[in-house]
Amino acid sequence: MNTQPAQSIAANFQQLWTQTMRPGLLNNLVDLITRASGRERTNFAVRAPAVDEPIVEVPACTQEDVILALNRARKAQQEWAESPVRERKQIVLRLHDLILQRQETMLDLLQMETGKARRDALEEVLDVAQACRHYAFRAESYLQPKWRKGALPLLTRTWELRHPIGVVGFISPWNYPLTLTLSDAIPAMLAGNAVVVKPDSQAPLAALLGLQWLREAGLPGDVLQVVTGPGADLAKPLIAGVDYICFTGSTTTGRSIARQAGENLIGCSLELGGKNPMLVLHDADIDRAVHGALRGCFANAGQLCISCERLFLQDPVYDRFLHQFIKRTSNLKIGPEKNFDVGMGSLISRGQLDKVDAHVRDAVRKGAVILAGGRARPDLGPFFYEPTILARVTQEMRVWQEETFGPVVSVCPFGDIEEALRMANDSPFGLNASIWTRDVRQGQRLAVRMRCGTVNINGAYAAAWGSVDAPMGGMKASGIGRRHGVEGFARFTESQTIAQQNLIPVGPWPFVKAGFYARVMTAALRLLRHIPGLR
């Protein structure tokens, strides 16, 4: 493990950033934030968690700024919606290329503002490219009018249209600040909407760099607006002015967003917290499962909504799995360096570190045992915490009940599968699950019984998340609505049905007695039930 003194790491760190960040880059990014002119305003500092040093000052936007952003977006939206989908597609594909070409700059920025390891930052870059490609090549077909069966065969012609919904608001968290703004905003914009994004105050820079590159790729100036500042202040005017709100964050805030969306009668999607289970069955490939659990539990220092915080191990493999898992967890390289060898970076803030530490201390006080980690690493940076494995965790412990959102996993043995399923499903959350077995049919049978929006068989989370063609989201307190796939696109559209009636109306016919109409319609419906293609 890294034992370099914190001071020299901080010095190295800063030198590295000044080398890689082009002069003026950060100030240019701040200039992209929507601000009403001519008034005094306060700023807040975005800090680099790895060293807890300020990076740049960002304006705390006001209600007035949000209204300006909404007005600009609404004005730009009409022309944008009238632009050919082909043109929107080309812009998104250019962003795809830019983000892959210039990934080093984005990785540096992501590492700097979140403290995450480079390999975790890379997941964001790849994810955005994936979303760009997927939706760019499908938007046209998703938006095409679709023929639907009419009320009366041959006499009614019915088709379904998909219109852009208007202006879509995004409120996003700090943990994947690029992915959780851009990957969702891309389908919204391809559908012909304008977008107003409110990133988290701790990490607003990656979304701004994404916006800069989108503009370079050809996005008209006002189609995407960014406002920065405290969610509690900005959400109200934002939700009051948009036609749909897309929120990713904690379940507590999600409930408040849902209430406001309800009040304003607009649609919303809520991507919320998780307490995700991983099941390792007796016949699992242990090497693969341990590798999967390392990523599943400690990717992004556990600050990942779909990461695994409860690990259920079947009795015959409990010791063997745990032996390897403890060894590899203890050897995981943690630190702030800018290379892909580092397994885990810093937590985002003092608050996050305190929460993780409080969960571990509460568990230990109530009888849990630390098998690996279990302490902060101020020698590496102010918010580093070791990847931690806990055993003998019980239901009274916070770490069992609540989402920790940190690098802490509780292991629990089980004998029979039914018992494991019951424990895994015994949670208010239902976001993601992982099952490891060589018997993939058994894995599939178990997967459908998991009350989670995504289930990975012989994978931790990346297989389901990366399947952008399929819906992704939470059951129970983990959310409402889905990102990805056709659902992740359709939520940003308003459907419209147009039906054209030819020759005779649906309903009693003129010049014919109502009784005759009733007999003909009854006979017709009886017949239709038996005609393939018309029923």
Sign of CA dihedral 109, 115, 118, 119: negative
- String of DSSP letters for 48-86: ETTTTEEEEEEE---HHHHHHHHHHHHHHHHHHHHS-HH
To ligand NAD, the closest distance from the beta carbon of 92 in angstroms equals 21
Which residue of this chain has its Cβ atom nearest to ligand NAD in the complex? 231
Separation between Cα atoms, residue 297 and residue 289, nearest integer Å: 12
The interface with ligand NAD within residues 439-478 (CB under 6 A) comprises: 474
Stretch that binds ligand NAD, among 19-27, 182-190, 265-273, 313-321 (CB under 6 A): 265-273
CB neighbour class for 486 (10 Å; exposed up to 12, middle 13-18, buried from 19): middle
Q: Which is nearer to ligand NAD, 300 or 314 (CB)?
A: 300
Separation between Cα atoms, residue 274 and residue 252, nearest integer Å: 12
To ligand NAD, the closest distance from the beta carbon of 44 in angstroms equals 12
Indicate which residue of 113, 123, 124, 271 is catalytic: 271
Q: How do strand 146-148 and strand 156-164 relate by DSSP bridges?
A: antiparallel
Residue labelled with tokens 């970076």: 345
To ligand NAD, the closest distance from the beta carbon of 288 in angstroms equals 25
Task: Kindly tell me which residue out of 106, 195, 272, 299 binds ligand NAD, with binding defined by CB under 6 A.
Answer: 272
Does residue 363 belong to the site contacting ligand NAD (CB under 6 A)? no
Q: What's the distance, CA 42 to chain centroid?
A: 30
Sign of CA dihedral 71, 74, 76, 79: negative
Per-residue x/- track, 181-220, ligand NAD (CB under 6 A) = -----------------x-xx-------------------
Does residue 383 belong to the site contacting ligand NAD (CB under 6 A)? no
Residue 104 Cα distances to 32, 92, 97, 99, angstroms: 21, 20, 13, 9
Contacts with ligand NAD by CB under 6 A: the residue count is 28
Does residue 312 belong to the site contacting ligand NAD (CB under 6 A)? no
- Nearest partner of 352 among 179, 178, 3, 116, judged by Cα: 116
Angle at 339 between CA 20 and CA 302, to 5 degrees: 110
Task: Kindly tell me which residue out of 173, 374, 387, 488 binds ligand NAD, with binding defined by CB under 6 A.
Answer: 173
Does residue 271 belong to the site contacting ligand NAD (CB under 6 A)? yes
Does residue 124 belong to the site contacting ligand NAD (CB under 6 A)? no
Per-residue x/- track, 416-435, ligand NAD (CB under 6 A) = ---------------x----
Does residue 104 carry a catalytic annotation? no
Does residue 271 carry a catalytic annotation? yes
Query: Cβ distance 267 to 239 under 8 Å?
Result: no
Separation between Cα atoms, residue 89 and residue 142, nearest integer Å: 13
Query: Cβ distance 95 to 206 under 8 Å?
Result: no
The interface with ligand NAD within residues 231-250 (CB under 6 A) comprises: 231-232, 235, 248-250
Stretch that binds ligand NAD, among 33-41, 138-146, 168-176, 517-525 (CB under 6 A): 168-176
Does residue 253 belong to the site contacting ligand NAD (CB under 6 A)? yes
Query: Cβ distance 139 to 189 under 8 Å?
Result: no
Does residue 175 belong to the site contacting ligand NAD (CB under 6 A)? yes
Indicate which residue of 305, 308, 412, 452 is catalytic: 305
Separation between Cα atoms, residue 495 and residue 408, nearest integer Å: 44
Stretch that binds ligand NAD, among 80-88, 172-180, 368-376, 433-441 (CB under 6 A): 172-180
Does residue 403 belong to the site contacting ligand NAD (CB under 6 A)? yes
Active site residues: 271, 305
Residues in contact with ligand NAD by CB under 6 A are 171-175, 180, 198, 200-201, 231-232, 235, 248-250, 253, 256-257, 271-274, 305, 403, 405, 431, 474, 479
